[in-house]
Structure 1
Amino acid sequence: MVPARPKPGTPALVSAPQPASLFDQFAQGWRSYALIALIAFLSAQFGAGRMQVMDPEEARFAQATRQMVEAGDYAHVRLQTETQSARPIGVHWLQAAAVNAAEPLTHKRNAIWFYRLPSTLGLLLAAIATLWGGAALIGQRSALFGAALLSVAMLAGFQGMAATADALLLGFTTLALAALARLRAPQRKKVISLLFWFALACGVLIKGFIAPLAATLTLASLFAWERRAAWMKPLLWWPGPLLFAIVAALSLGTLFSFERGGLDQFTLPGFHLFLLPFLIFPATYALPAAARLSIETIRAPLADEDHAAFRFLICWALPILLVFELTPAKLPHFALPAYPAIALLCGAGLTAMTGRRWRTTHPAGVALFAVAGGVIVALMSIAATFMPGDFAADTRRAISTALIGVGIVAASFTALIMLRRPAARCAVLVACALALSFSFRERILPEARALNVSSEVVAALTRARLTPRDDRPLWVVGYSEPSLIFITRTDIRLAGPVEAGGEAQIGDAIVIEGRAMQDMTTQLATRDLQFTPAEEPVRGLTIANLDRVALFVGELRPISAAPPADVPR
């Protein structure tokens, strides 16, 4: 932009104020919030209507909500495959509200898209709260960059699509910490304090202690660093703590609940840090600049108020990462509450790269972006091989997927090198992430049938006219994924070979995993019964434990009436 000429009478040494660019004018006000909401909505909706319910966590959440709706009991969470299910109830209330609102139109309770809507709202809330809180810390322009990068991040977008608690937890945790960021400014302190406690209370209802832990770590780290607590005093205004105390007391049984998925594994520290460039992609490009800003902030004296905002972001992200790095059990999404602060640091880094003489951040960011993008494209190519077809078809699909993905990453790589404006670079990063997410979640994963074992079993039952109904139960032996319950009926019978072989009746539909076939056949033979398969077994890979399974679909008949069964192995 050409600088404006000074007006007559303006001193020669004083330059006239520069007019705001079109982007800066757009970034101010409601338009930026509308843009971020649109980006977050698109990111969360890729695959939401096409991908089958996923094991294990999404299927558990959705099936527990379905049983809540079917029983009409909204005070308890039950799941058929678990003996006890003490878990926070808030996410199930929101999912049940979405299902009850949609059921008169669809007449279905197993349409997974409606269970995923609250997660979409969670990602929208997280993105908008990131922009709102970031604007008070690093300015509207950099906050807009950070919120956009968070909205399209690979992990955040995926969680925004999945019907679990993580996107909602991210939304309310981000809202609470954004309120803390706003609390440091002298305006509407009581209202913001009440909003902080409200967000924490909602976080407790969604996922127990994680949101209060994130807020406590941030406040404690800031006090230890700055030795200032006066700005925190409005948090003691009594309505907020009282609201939180009531919710915490009502949720006492589930306050310290934790996901089972990572409790049976041990991962060395460094797990979340290693995955960060891939899970926060495309903000990967700005990670070196964010690290440079963080190092400068740590070295700066406390009297330097220019780094106060970065101290807040560091105290938001770093303690959360450290705590989850030190816990023995780790799953990738555990550290997700730290991502908004990292995204804001990346947004500030994008802006800072054009105004500072940093020689290494841009080349390092481009290289890191290329490596992370290449790994994501490789994973997409591997997923494409799980579509139906022989080895030649798998090879063609893997190559075509790789070519498309490499083309997207290469075009973005070139644009990052050629373009200089932070807004242009941010637009390139957002477009790249949306394109890859669309290909992966909207095109590849829904067609990867070998990964959607339960859906293929239901298709085989439909072809054989053996779908469960009131007068014909479905027995499932050796396979206990909750997705099969959600797709079929809540009252299907998950059992072992002894129970199923002793209680199943003639004409009952049965699904048997190959490794349980011998024991099941032995049990049935004692009753002069035989399992008759309807077709070739359904083969696939379970996501929960990456175990290959072969599921035989058929029915129970007397040995004298059953045709000779040549059961494929």
Structure 2
Amino acid sequence: MKSVQDILHLDLDAKALSPRAWAALIIIALISTLPGFTTLPPIDRDESRYSQASRQMMETGDYIDIQFQDQNRYVKPVGIYWLQVITATPLGGEDAPIWAHRLPSLFATLFVVGLTAWFGARLGGAGVGLAAGILLAISMSASVDARMAKTDAVLMAATAVSMVALYFIVVREKAERLAFRGAPLAFWAATGVGLLVKGPIILFVSVPALIVLALWRRDLSFIKRLHILPGIAVMLAIFLPWFVAIMIRTQGEFWNDSIGHALMGKVAKGDDSHGAPPGYHTLLSFITFWPGILLIALGAVAAWRRRAEPTVQFIVAWFLPFWIIYELVATKLPHYTLPVFPALALIAAFGLRDGVELVKGKGVRIAHWIIAALFVLVSVLIGFLPFLLAGEMETTAPATAWLGALAGIAAAGTGIYLALKPTFNRLPPLVLSALGVYIFTFGAVLPNMDRFWLSRELKAEIASIGGCETPHLATIDYREPSLVFNFGTNTLLGDEASVIAHLAGNQACGVAAIGQGEYVSFLEAAEQAGLPLKILGQVEGYNYTKGRNITLTILSHSSSDYPVPTTTGTQADG
């Protein structure tokens, strides 16, 4: 039987991937990221907020201010919104589907996968490069964020460019001064893009890395090669024009919201109920960096044994200081560590390269098998996750969920196979199993779990009633941003008084969806206001942002253009 190297025409020690290896990497990355990309509905809450704000830019023609309906959205800079406008404009503009807004994340992820493979090949040979690219492509967090219209994948791309450029600035055999082009220009330009996408987060990677490298290497000669003054000029040329414009427009409010609340507010206390103790990201990496986490113990030992090598020092400085910072920050979310996942993938790839020798040590072997045991448990858990989710929603999972479960079990088995003898030729079965999980879970199972997508189901139910081509929706109790993306900017996420006024003022096509917790109270308020209502239907679903089942009753003015379904009453009680 031919080895993987023979099939891919791959020299593991070469400094570049073969064309076949590049083709294999691209195919793997696409299979990891595309299932469900166009079929998953808008996800609450961040994705829907980002996408709706981008849509409103296209609606208003205002590409400076950031608004979600009539509310300021100043938690992040404008970069991601501009990118979404660029990808959505040729695909329908303000009417573009949600996947058009996801394209920047997809393109960014594919780019980082390729960059990681190229960089890894330069550092440790084509085997390391291809393994690192694959492990990043199939990592859970990168795969998920490639499907979401948010900042994180784009930030990972900007960070990766800045750090790869920084490597060629800092880790050089000769200390001559570089011209301000190539690596220095790429570093500062990528930093400017990172600032425009997610503020100073990109600096939380590069600045601590530089400090650690300076202390570790006892060498500051790289400072002159950074070209700090012209570099800052390039960085500010990218970020500053919009920043000045938004500060003038908002009279400084953007600074207060983005830095005071969105950034500093997350440091000392858990923001929006997302607080967690130190160790959160490390424990969660068994999911976020699955399945590459299987090789992380070997990678850590390989890095320790090679700690005197400048390449290893750089990779460790890339991810470890940032990781520690985010373990200490009070607010924690799974995607926060994504900017350093390329470095984790490189560490894991080095562990795979040296794995056979490393597992000969007793201590290493024990640590390796502890990780492997946890990997098996997590793999099975990931495979059966749709069933757990269905149980939480008090429903049944689609039949295709069993295929995802089998893929999860296969991942556990192929993981053991790889753990027994960590070599490049034993990696493909694990890769195929992980891809199976993503194909079935994201491509077949999640899009068809109707109760999970309450906004989509509400839109479909109102459309099936007919009578109005453009319903004017108002809601009470269920107030998720995906409603606004599905029904339009003028959707009212209101209270009793505003919804009553909405129905009274939009008698023909006004429609309201009232959660069961507010239903009786709303009927009483409508009766007191003299507002006649008719019931059009009900939708049951699961509000995953709050972790509870909910029933929405659909109402309109009694004289509306909506026909009353024969299975419902014609008049609301009261």
**Alignment TM-score, normalising by the size of structure 2:** 0.85
2:541 corresponding residue in structure 1: 540
1:326 corresponding residue in structure 2: 328
Q: Which of residues 197, 201, 205 is equivalent to 2:196?
A: 205
- Alignment map for 1:490-505 (pairs within 5 Å): 490-505=489-504
How far is 1:491 from its partner?
1.5
Q: 1:441-500 CA distances to partner (integer Å, 9 max, x unpaired)?
A: 11111011111010010011011126562xx63222222211111112212222110222
Query: Contact 2:386 / 2:397 at 8 angstroms: preserved in 1?
Result: no
2:145 corresponding residue in structure 1: 159
Q: Which of residues 54, 57, 67 is equivalent to 2:46?
A: 57
Measured on the aligned residues, the alpha-carbon RMSD in Å equals 3.2
Query: Contact 1:27 / 1:141 at 8 angstroms: preserved in 2?
Result: no
- Alignment map for 1:294-333 (pairs within 5 Å): 294-297=303-306, 304=308, 307-333=309-335
Q: 1:223-272 CA distances to partner (integer Å, 9 max, x unpaired)?
A: 12221121342112643221112334335446737379961222111110
- Worse-matched range after superposition: 82-91 or 486-495: 82-91
Say whether residues 1:89 and 2:95 are aligned partners: no
1:234 corresponding residue in structure 2: 225
How far is 1:122 from its partner?
1.0
Question: Distance between the aligned counterparts of 1:442 and 1:394, measured in 2?
Answer: 14
How far is 1:406 from its partner?
4.4
Query: Contact 1:110 / 1:486 at 8 angstroms: preserved in 2?
Result: no
- Worse-matched range after superposition: 142-151 or 504-513: 504-513
Q: 1:299-333 CA distances to partner (integer Å, 9 max, x unpaired)?
A: x5xxx4xx322211111111111111111111111
SS in structure 2 opposite 1:272? helix
Q: For residues 552 and 351 of structure 1, do their structure 2 counterparts lie closer, same or farther at Cα, with a shift above 3 Å needed?
A: same
Q: Which of residues 28, 43, 57 is equivalent to 2:16?
A: 28
Question: Distance between the aligned counterparts of 2:159 and 2:142, measured in 1?
Answer: 13
SS in structure 2 opposite 1:208? helix
Query: Contact 2:534 / 2:555 at 8 angstroms: preserved in 1?
Result: yes
Question: Distance between the aligned counterparts of 1:126 and 1:235, measured in 2?
Answer: 23
Q: For residues 556 and 459 of structure 1, do their structure 2 counterparts lie closer, same or farther at Cα, with a shift above 3 Å needed?
A: same
Query: Contact 1:386 / 1:449 at 8 angstroms: preserved in 2?
Result: no
SS in structure 2 opposite 1:404? helix
- Worse-matched range after superposition: 325-334 or 505-514: 505-514
SS in structure 1 opposite 2:534? strand
Question: Distance between the aligned counterparts of 1:195 and 1:291, measured in 2?
Answer: 29
- Alignment map for 1:80-479 (pairs within 5 Å): 80=69, 82-103=71-92, 109-183=95-169, 184-185=171-172, 190-236=181-227, 238-250=229-241, 252=243, 253=254, 256=259, 258=262, 263-265=271-273, 266-297=275-306, 304=308, 307-356=309-358, 357-359=360-362, 360=365, 363-384=369-390, 393-394=396-397, 400-401=402-403, 403-413=405-415, 415-416=417-418, 422-465=423-466, 469=470, 473-479=472-478
**Alignment TM-score, normalising by the size of structure 1:** 0.85
Q: For residues 237 and 492 of structure 1, do their structure 2 counterparts lie closer, same or farther at Cα, with a shift above 3 Å needed?
A: closer
How far is 1:395 from its partner?
9.5
Say whether residues 1:531 and 2:533 are aligned partners: yes
Query: Contact 1:451 / 1:541 at 8 angstroms: preserved in 2?
Result: yes
Question: Distance between the aligned counterparts of 1:467 and 1:343, measured in 2?
Answer: 52
Q: 1:500-546 CA distances to partner (integer Å, 9 max, x unpaired)?
A: 224422342111122221232122112322332212x2222222222
SS in structure 1 opposite 2:262? coil
Q: Percent sequence identity over matched residues?
A: 24
Question: Distance between the aligned counterparts of 1:446 and 1:379, measured in 2?
Answer: 14
2:248 corresponding residue in structure 1: none
SS in structure 2 opposite 1:511? strand
Query: Contact 1:373 / 1:409 at 8 angstroms: preserved in 2?
Result: yes
Say whether residues 1:512 and 2:514 are aligned partners: yes
Q: For residues 467 and 540 of structure 1, do their structure 2 counterparts lie closer, same or farther at Cα, with a shift above 3 Å needed?
A: farther
How far is 1:548 from its partner?
2.6
Q: AA paired with 1:358?
A: G
1:42 corresponding residue in structure 2: 31
Question: Distance between the aligned counterparts of 1:72 and 1:311, measured in 2?
Answer: 47
Question: Runs of 5+ in structure 1 lacking a partner?
Answer: 2-18
SS in structure 2 opposite 1:85? coil
Question: Distance between the aligned counterparts of 2:459 and 2:44, measured in 1?
Answer: 15
SS in structure 1 opposite 2:68? coil
SS in structure 1 opposite 2:44? coil
How far is 1:397 from its partner?
6.9
Q: 1:9-31 CA distances to partner (integer Å, 9 max, x unpaired)?
A: xxxxxxxxxx9994217872463
Query: Contact 2:17 / 2:129 at 8 angstroms: preserved in 1?
Result: no
Question: Distance between the aligned counterparts of 1:33 and 1:291, measured in 2?
Answer: 27
Question: Distance between the aligned counterparts of 2:488 and 2:189, measured in 1?
Answer: 37
Query: Contact 1:52 / 1:452 at 8 angstroms: preserved in 2?
Result: yes
Question: Distance between the aligned counterparts of 1:218 and 1:251, measured in 2?
Answer: 28
SS in structure 2 opposite 1:161? coil
SS in structure 1 opposite 2:120? helix
Q: 1:334-354 CA distances to partner (integer Å, 9 max, x unpaired)?
A: 111121111100000000112
Question: Distance between the aligned counterparts of 2:54 and 2:8, measured in 1?
Answer: 49
SS in structure 2 opposite 1:23? coil
How far is 1:410 from its partner?
4.3
Q: For residues 144 and 84 of structure 1, do their structure 2 counterparts lie closer, same or farther at Cα, with a shift above 3 Å needed?
A: closer
Query: Contact 1:380 / 1:401 at 8 angstroms: preserved in 2?
Result: no
How far is 1:440 from its partner?
1.2
Q: AA paired with 1:339?
A: F
Q: 1:98-138 CA distances to partner (integer Å, 9 max, x unpaired)?
A: 111122xxx87241111111101110122122223333433
Query: Contact 1:290 / 1:346 at 8 angstroms: preserved in 2?
Result: yes
Question: Distance between the aligned counterparts of 1:372 and 1:344, measured in 2?
Answer: 22
SS in structure 1 opposite 2:558? strand
Query: Contact 1:479 / 1:512 at 8 angstroms: preserved in 2?
Result: yes
Q: For residues 135 and 193 of structure 1, do their structure 2 counterparts lie closer, same or farther at Cα, with a shift above 3 Å needed?
A: farther
Question: Runs of 5+ in structure 2 lacking a partner?
Answer: 244-253
Q: How many residues align?
A: 533
Q: 1:365-411 CA distances to partner (integer Å, 9 max, x unpaired)?
A: 53233122122123233235579xx86x559776x357523442244
Question: Distance between the aligned counterparts of 2:52 and 2:31, measured in 1?
Answer: 25
Question: Distance between the aligned counterparts of 1:450 and 1:428, measured in 2?
Answer: 34
Query: Contact 1:123 / 1:171 at 8 angstroms: preserved in 2?
Result: yes
